[in-house]
Structure 1
Amino acid sequence: MSGDNARVIQLPPEALLPAAEVDAPPGLDDLPVRPGPFVGRTRELDCLDAVLTASGQVVVQAVAGLGGIGKSTLAAHWAATRARGHAPIRWISADSPAGVQQGLADLATALQPALAQALPLEALAERASQWLATHTGWLLILDNVNDPADIAPLLARATTGRILITSRLATAWHHATTVVRLDVLDPAESLDLLTRTLTAHGPRDLDGAADLCAELGHLPLAIEQVAAYLAQNPLTTPRAYLHLLSQYPADMYRQGAATTPAERTIARIWRLTLDRLTALQPLAADLLCVLAWYAPENIPATVLDGLAGPPALNHAIGLLNAYSMITADPASDTLAVHRLVQALARTPDPDDPHRTPAAIDQARNQAATQLSEACPAWNVPAAWPTWRTLLAHIDALTGHAAEATDTDTTANIHDHTGAFLDNQGQTARAISYFQRALTSRVRVLGADHPHTLSSRNNLAYAYRHAGDLGRAIELWERDLTHSVRVLGADHRGTLTSRLNLAGAYEEAGDLGRAIPLYEQNLAAMMRVLGADHPDTLTASSNLAGGYRSAGDLGRAIPLYEQNLAAMMRVLSADHPDTLTSRNNLADAYREAGDLGRAGPLFERNLEARLRVLGADHPDTLTSRNNLAGAYEAAGDLGRAIPLFEQTFEDRLRVLGANHPSTLTSRGNLAGAYEAAGDLGRAIPLFEQTFEDRLRVLGANHPDTLTSRGILAGAYLSAGDPDRAIPLNEETLEDRLRVLGADHPSTLTSRNNLAGAYQEAGDLGRAIPLFEQTLEDTVRVLGPHHPSTLSSRLNLAGAYEAAGDPGRAIPLYEQILADMTRVLGTGHPVTVEVRLMLAAAFASRDGGAEQP
């Protein structure tokens, strides 16, 4: 060299050898030191072992996966323990072209230290490339490759030896012999990793360790970071750390132990990836923050429709998938995101440009908008599979988002989800969604907004379906008051509120308040909407139902007949409301004992629903169930039982084992078996129905109480009053507490208990209960209600069984007069009562037959 500052370097002769003639001295391996235990990964290690180096060829393998998944740890462990015969083993941090160049220069220097003083960095890197191209047996680990272009020149020249690549990129290694896609640890392995680190210096309190691993999504880096933190904080247990994580997520995600490099924390690793993604496609980072609010797996790609134009959206999804931030499954058209990535992306951090509080709020609201637009109609069976897919993501959004952040959009999601769940018989879950929707709408829109009134109405319906009529009535009374004040007495919303309240009164057995409301509503609808308006026709049907509940079939049946004729004229013979009206009339005929008119209507309705709605529609299944019931009432069990069996099987398949309609079908089938005298098949079905309702609906639901009473009746039919009586006593006690003393179902329970006492021969307890039941039924339902007639008949039978025909005969006479007036002289029940009266006369008169 020349010049004033020239420096003369004297190289030894061996430094001037061609690269092909330079042998690698021993001790050139430079694997990084990886402190801490290594667990699991047997399959992945075996996969790296499986590729044998063919003579004269380079073997390229890639380990790909999410940042923090353990790619570098796996590569280092494999190279240190299983890279048989490879020398030298060199580790290059290949996250940039400069990093690759520096790693090659370091290899050249390690091979010939004297060159470090003689050649610039570029020449040293070139010297190493020449050496790799002319030697075999070496192993080169290119760690954390961000861009395949950064290592392309090296791969093109290094044609022998073995190269192992680690990268977050999962889809760029088409030339690699093997690509190992690294996933999280399994639960046992992640717990082992945490436990080994935490107990390295002595025993520790491990309470909550498994839960903590699950919360961290079994991500190795997260487990290591948390274990190091806990190791240096001996007073903090895994359970306590979970609490800290829930209270201060942003702080905990970026904190490791004192010795944890800042760049190795979870938050820092993923921020670097998001920086790169944002530079390539800004939408990618925004999209990840939206996906963070859903469940981690099986996210339908269609949820993202409309978020951006298809080219930009596809590019963003592709980048996230390529960098292992999400996993795309083309077979199911779904996406998955690691739960810890989601948790971090949902956590605001003012120091992270991707996670500012404003960005988090925007992503959450966008996630809600996307879900809202993806939700189909809740009452269309064809849409139910979509709902079942979306439910997990609606649950996740609802659980992650604080109630105070809810908007009208989220309230809309909650309302529609509640309606779907209620329709599916998951009433408890429905109530929680309706409650959240109502709370949000009161806060966002005010108590008097129409959407708020709608939410209150929905919640009341769910309470009613859950059997909590007390809360349902309270809400509907409040809703009606609001509607009258805000909308006016004749507004359609007010009329609907009044109708709902009347229905709740009817179900609670308070017909004295229900029927006047039905009558008031019908008059108002005829005045406001006209006699032929569909809502008016519905109000007419509801009033007929009120009359029927009151036992007044004389007013109910003509009104049902009139309603059906109007429905057919206004809406058509096959309209769903017409089919409902025909069903109601058929059921009223059945209750009146007019099976000759009931059966054909049920048959016609089933045929129409099969044709219009299809065999699997819930309304079609209801029609088949009702027709089976009509056949059973007519004593035609040969036709009833196969229909009940088919309906039960179809509901099990279409609606699921826990749907209330499925449970009803099982109970109906059991009742038909009982009617056929087949208690061996009936009782197990009754028992299963009761157990399922207890589990699904709860101990206090009216259907559960009904099931217990029916099961008690079956035990009694089987001659087992010892099992029947405790069940009847329990049912009466529960109905008194849940429904009140005057509810028709409570009166039924008291009657059933009296019957069980009579069957057991305990007339001393039976007769007072029958007397009390008759007195209450006359007071609550009236002297001519069917339940009143049944109570009078039961009391007469008890008097006769007690040898007191003198008190039985007047009751039989009164019942016969009522039955003749209501059902006619030829009705089977009327005929049966006439025979009972004759037997009572015979008993009183010593066998003399009465006319």
Structure 2
Amino acid sequence: MQSASYDLFLSYQSEDSAQAEHLYQRLQSAGFKVWFDRARLQAGFNWHAEIEEGVEASRIVLPILTPRWKNSEWTKFETYGAEVVIPLLCEGDWDDVATPPLKRWQNISIDAADPDPADWKKLLAAIRDHLRRPAPIKSERMAFLRYTVNPHFVGREREMNRIHEALHAEPTAALSQGKIHAIVAMGGIGKTTLARHYAERFWRLYTQIFWVDAREEESLRSGYAGIAKLLFPERENGTDEEKLAQRALVELNGSTERLLVLDNVEDEESIQRWIPKSGGCRTLITSRFTAWSPGIGTSRVYVLDPGPARELLLRRTGRYGREAQSESCDRLAETLGYLPLALEQAAAYVAEEGPDFGFEDYLELYREATQDCLAEGVLGSTEYPDSVVTTWKATLAKLSPQARTLLRFSSFLSPEPIPIELFIKNVERVRAHFSEFPLPAGSKPAKESSSDNFMIRNALKDLTRYAMVDNTGQSFLVHSLVQMVERLNAAGDRRSVWLGHLLEMVNAYGPVNAHYPITWDIWDGLRPHAEFLLNLIPEELKAETALSLNEELAKWYYGKGLYNKSLVWEGLKLELAKRLLPENDPRMGSYLINYGESLLRVRGRAEEAAEIFLKAVKIEENASGPESPSVADNLNYYAMALKDSGQEEKAENVYRRALAIYDKTSFPDSERLARVLTNLSSRLLDRGDCQGAEPLIKRAVDLLESGKISASFPYIHHMLAQLGIIYYETGRNAAAEPLLKRALEFCAGTLGPEHPEMVFPLETYAEFLGSEAAVDAAMEVYQRTLKVVEKNSGKESYTYARILNNIGLLLQSHNRLDEAEKPLIESLEIRRRVCGDDSAEFMRVMGNLGELYREMGRLDDAHQYLDPAVQYWDRADVEIKFEAGRLFHKLARLYRYEAKSKETEEMFRKALKILDQRPEHEWTREARREWYEISGEKPD
């Protein structure tokens, strides 16, 4: 740290460093001692502290004013508290580049890089004139300040600038009372510390500085009487404090530039008669009260940012230079919600415990004994003895029962914006708790309002008035430590009652079917609170209301495409249901279905999912009979899992049974019917039966077009895209494209352009464009698809590998063979890592690469990939699937290319034995056509 004094301090924005460098060199040559950061700051220096000391040690500050200068908080901070400022107007207009506090100084227009000789002479003369004058002495100017400066003060430069600019702004009609500004915040934020540092930072600007404790009328009167004694020590002051106080107030209304700090003000009414109304006195107020009249400006102060919070902990404990400590330091700061009082309290405890007790140790202690830790007081630089637990007690005593009730309920919610409608829609449950809190001293019961909205908002106003919440109009925020302390106050039997009622409130406020986008306006804001509450409630207190809330959370995650999270909540719900419900309860079937669907989607464990779905089918059959529509619902999921596990023929039969049940129902649920129709159509399409698939999917789309399906139904894009696929598979491309585009638009408009459900319509549209020979357009759509997959699942996912494989096949089909190789190899390597090199997924791409190398004439490479793939399907422990016939066909082509007639015939017959199971499939028709060219054999 520096100890020398300087004549000049150069203040500039980093973009103007060249001009500053020129000016520095010239001023040095003129014989001045100049503080210039480029010359001063070195690696390892604490630049915050260095700059503060540099400004403090310099007689004159020279701001290099350009349109960029006031964009920095630090350049303003450097100049505002200086003894003398000579603004150098280097670029732009004075009114545009100067801030209000700078306009009290006479500026000099000058080119810093190449000054005009007359301008340079004028600047030197001004500098020398000021340096000849005696420097101000701090002790002579600071008449009375109550506290010492906190050596660990960090992170409030922006706030100090804002306060200073407000106190020195040009007068307006709204500020006719004089220059008055209030620092407002809840307890523990550091309002008093900030005011003390403002006085320390800007002492040179005020001839006198006075500090008054404004908590009570007696302390105000005593404080002003003290000011009178300081101002008029030669007078006979007597003992009448009121007269002395009034004498001080008259003097403070005079023209002398002074700073008056009124600390810990209760509210505006309590200090109205004590505020200087005119003259040169600037009045700075600290208070938890926020509802000030327009004549008093306010600066709302919040918790520290993460960086300054870390700095405070490290400074206070002296634990610099220890990386592990720094990481746990950040975790501790986050745990304490970056509240300065809590940070000071924790740091003092860590420091007192000795060098072997670190932040991680305190975190462990905090987890074990939160209440004890928050109850620890620490005497800081402002002599503030209260702990976190006790610091808000005085504020709580001023709150109405209505406000206390809202605060108590809010303490069991997440430290995220809380929707006000949650309380308005559950007002009767809220009212039931008003009687648990006393009226504030001296107040009367609030008049009963006929408007629930008005009553809840009035209670919030009470909380906002004392900075306990931040109210935006539609939601409000409560600090996490305020919530923690309030939760600690709610111990005992009543806690479970509050939790139970809040659970009912959240469940009632959240709409059903949270996977539907139409519900997301509410669920997006409610979701963190529902999660927090469910995690807070002990398992033994959870009831069926918790099951419902759990279910909606799982649905919300599923609808958002966050399938891993959905699976977690489905698993938690199922475990809770097993504890609360009989095994054969029909609701168990529903919970099994939801869990199985997430398991299938996230883990791809089709066989396990099929067992779960079958169990759900049996539960529903026992409860409702085998022909119940709810049985058909569960059969649909069972068939999905069967299809994904390779049991395609069995899946088709199950789909047909589900459809038959719906067709026997007088008024089937249109959305569930549409899903079965779509899934069965997809199954028929997979086996090449477009003729059978088309009427099914058309029937589903007709349900949409006739209005029997809600426009928010999240399955619509599947229906539209599937009909589009059938059209282009059967050569009706002109009819296909509008449907595929409509599917894309629906999915993007309903779920969002980056939702994982976008993959299906994007992929389908890309395949269509490829079939139209619009390869470049198809590639653009595939690249868009990759971005969606990367955002949601990452590059190391099966889906990402599948898209890369499809890109390779597209390029290959249009004879862009060299370009096709890279995406196929990338796909293969991802599948090796994700699925393993002994999986059907891996072997599928092996076969595709082998076919590509055959077309490229690289026959050895073709065998290197095709032979292992064929050997995989030849193994006795691998169930033969239809795709194996396609792979055998590819190897038969290679043998034919090599003129190996015996091997060609053997492999063709092997391929056709499998492919002929689906005679209408394009793979089968293609293989039959080639075999006919070789053998002359026509299919049976």
TM-score by length of 1: 0.74
The aligned counterpart of 1:294 is 413
Letter in 1 for 2:568: S
Deviates most, 463-472 or 38-47 = 38-47
Q: How far apart in 2 are the matches of 1:484 and 1:203?
A: 64
Deviates most, 356-365 or 475-484 = 475-484
Q: Is residue 2:589 matched to residue 1:468?
A: no
Q: What is the DSSP-based 3-state SS (H/G/I as helix, E as strand, rest coil) of the residue aligned with 1:208?
A: helix
The aligned counterpart of 1:371 is 506
Deviations 1:595-651 (A, max 9, x none): 678668867865763563688864443333223312331345566456545644553
C-alpha displacement of 1:318 = 0.6
Letter in 2 for 1:168: R
Instruction: Pick one of 245, 252, 263 that aligns with 1:143.
Output: 263
The aligned counterpart of 1:417 is 553
Letter in 2 for 1:667: E
Tell me, yes or no, if the aligned pair for 1:670 and 1:682 is still in contact at 8 Å. yes
The aligned counterpart of 1:549 is none
C-alpha displacement of 1:267 = 1.8
The aligned counterpart of 2:544 is 408
The aligned counterpart of 1:4 is none
Tell me, yes or no, if the aligned pair for 1:70 and 1:220 is still in contact at 8 Å. yes
The aligned counterpart of 1:101 is 221
Q: How far apart in 2 are the matches of 1:35 and 1:67?
A: 17
Letter in 2 for 1:390: L
Tell me, yes or no, if the aligned pair for 1:632 and 1:672 is still in contact at 8 Å. yes
Q: How far apart in 2 are the matches of 1:821 and 1:456?
A: 34
Instruction: Pick one of 325, 344, 349 that aligns with 2:485.
Output: 344
Q: How far apart in 1 are the matches of 2:148 and 2:922?
A: 93
C-alpha displacement of 1:819 = 9.3
Q: How far apart in 2 are the matches of 1:78 and 1:736?
A: 62
Deviates most, 769-778 or 105-114 = 769-778
Change (3 A) 1:93 1:358: farther
The aligned counterpart of 1:668 is 764
1:699-710 alignment to 2 at 5 Å?
703=799, 706-707=802-803, 709-710=805-806
Q: Is residue 2:372 matched to residue 1:251?
A: yes
The aligned counterpart of 2:157 is 42
Q: How far apart in 2 are the matches of 1:746 and 1:806?
A: 28
Tell me, yes or no, if the aligned pair for 1:812 and 1:836 is still in contact at 8 Å. no
Tell me, yes or no, if the aligned pair for 1:793 and 1:812 is still in contact at 8 Å. yes
Tell me, yes or no, if the aligned pair for 1:92 and 1:103 is still in contact at 8 Å. yes
Deviations 1:102-144 (A, max 9, x none): 3334445555679999545556555555665678655432211
Change (3 A) 1:699 1:399: farther
The aligned counterpart of 1:433 is 569
Q: Is residue 2:389 matched to residue 1:267?
A: yes
The aligned counterpart of 1:696 is 792
Q: Is residue 2:781 matched to residue 1:719?
A: no
Q: How far apart in 1 are the matches of 2:878 and 2:177?
A: 99
Q: How far apart in 1 are the matches of 2:768 and 2:155?
A: 58
C-alpha displacement of 1:41 = 2.9
Q: How far apart in 2 are the matches of 1:101 and 1:31?
A: 16
C-alpha displacement of 1:704 = 5.2
Q: Is residue 2:356 matched to residue 1:238?
A: no
The aligned counterpart of 2:464 is 321
1:490-569 alignment to 2 at 5 Å?
500-510=637-647, 522=657, 537=659, 539=661
Q: What is the DSSP-based 3-state SS (H/G/I as helix, E as strand, rest coil) of the residue aligned with 2:727?
A: helix
Deviates most, 307-316 or 317-326 = 307-316
The aligned counterpart of 1:91 is 211
Q: How far apart in 2 are the matches of 1:662 and 1:815?
A: 35
C-alpha displacement of 1:270 = 1.6
Tell me, yes or no, if the aligned pair for 1:92 and 1:104 is still in contact at 8 Å. yes
Change (3 A) 1:359 1:819: closer
Deviations 1:216-263 (A, max 9, x none): 333332332233223323322233333333332212222244768674
Q: How far apart in 2 are the matches of 1:496 and 1:571?
A: 11
Q: How far apart in 1 are the matches of 2:939 and 2:384?
A: 104
Q: What is the DSSP-based 3-state SS (H/G/I as helix, E as strand, rest coil) of the residue aligned with 1:276?
A: coil
C-alpha displacement of 1:580 = 4.9
1:144-163 alignment to 2 at 5 Å?
144-155=264-275, 161-163=281-283
1:56-95 alignment to 2 at 5 Å?
58-82=178-202, 86=206, 88-95=208-215
Q: What is the DSSP-based 3-state SS (H/G/I as helix, E as strand, rest coil) of the residue aligned with 1:75?
A: helix
C-alpha displacement of 1:285 = 2.4
Letter in 2 for 1:318: K
Letter in 2 for 1:388: D
Q: What is the DSSP-based 3-state SS (H/G/I as helix, E as strand, rest coil) of the residue aligned with 2:294?
A: coil
Q: Is residue 2:934 matched to residue 1:836?
A: no
Q: Is residue 2:491 matched to residue 1:356?
A: yes
Q: How far apart in 1 are the matches of 2:541 and 2:932?
A: 74
C-alpha displacement of 1:779 = 7.0
Change (3 A) 1:496 1:203: closer
C-alpha displacement of 1:689 = 4.3
Change (3 A) 1:34 1:455: farther
Q: Is residue 2:865 matched to residue 1:761?
A: no
Change (3 A) 1:756 1:34: same
Q: Is residue 2:301 matched to residue 1:164?
A: no
1:181-196 alignment to 2 at 5 Å?
181-196=300-315
C-alpha displacement of 1:325 = 0.9
RMSD: 4.9
Change (3 A) 1:646 1:45: same
Q: How far apart in 2 are the matches of 1:850 and 1:651?
A: 43
Tell me, yes or no, if the aligned pair for 2:805 and 2:827 is still in contact at 8 Å. yes
Change (3 A) 1:610 1:256: farther
Deviates most, 284-293 or 645-654 = 645-654
Q: Is residue 2:655 matched to residue 1:655?
A: no
Q: How far apart in 1 are the matches of 2:314 and 2:524?
A: 38
Q: How far apart in 2 are the matches of 1:809 and 1:209?
A: 72
The aligned counterpart of 2:403 is 284
Q: What is the DSSP-based 3-state SS (H/G/I as helix, E as strand, rest coil) of the residue aligned with 2:302?
A: coil
TM-score by length of 2: 0.68
The aligned counterpart of 1:227 is 347
The aligned counterpart of 1:634 is 730
Q: How far apart in 1 are the matches of 2:885 and 2:358?
A: 69
Change (3 A) 1:812 1:29: closer
Tell me, yes or no, if the aligned pair for 2:620 and 2:631 is still in contact at 8 Å. yes
Tell me, yes or no, if the aligned pair for 1:208 and 1:238 is still in contact at 8 Å. yes
In percent, how many aligned pairs have the same letter? 22
Letter in 2 for 1:248: A
Letter in 1 for 2:213: S
Q: How far apart in 2 are the matches of 1:596 and 1:470?
A: 30
Tell me, yes or no, if the aligned pair for 1:800 and 1:840 is still in contact at 8 Å. no
Deviates most, 258-267 or 410-419 = 258-267
Q: Which runs of 5+ in 1 are unaligned?
A: 1-24, 349-353, 523-535, 541-562
Tell me, yes or no, if the aligned pair for 2:207 and 2:258 is still in contact at 8 Å. yes
Tell me, yes or no, if the aligned pair for 1:29 and 1:87 is still in contact at 8 Å. no
Q: How far apart in 1 are the matches of 2:878 and 2:600?
A: 26
Q: How far apart in 1 are the matches of 2:411 and 2:481?
A: 9
1:602-617 alignment to 2 at 5 Å?
609=704, 612=707
The aligned counterpart of 1:15 is none
C-alpha displacement of 1:62 = 1.5
C-alpha displacement of 1:430 = 0.3
Letter in 1 for 2:391: I
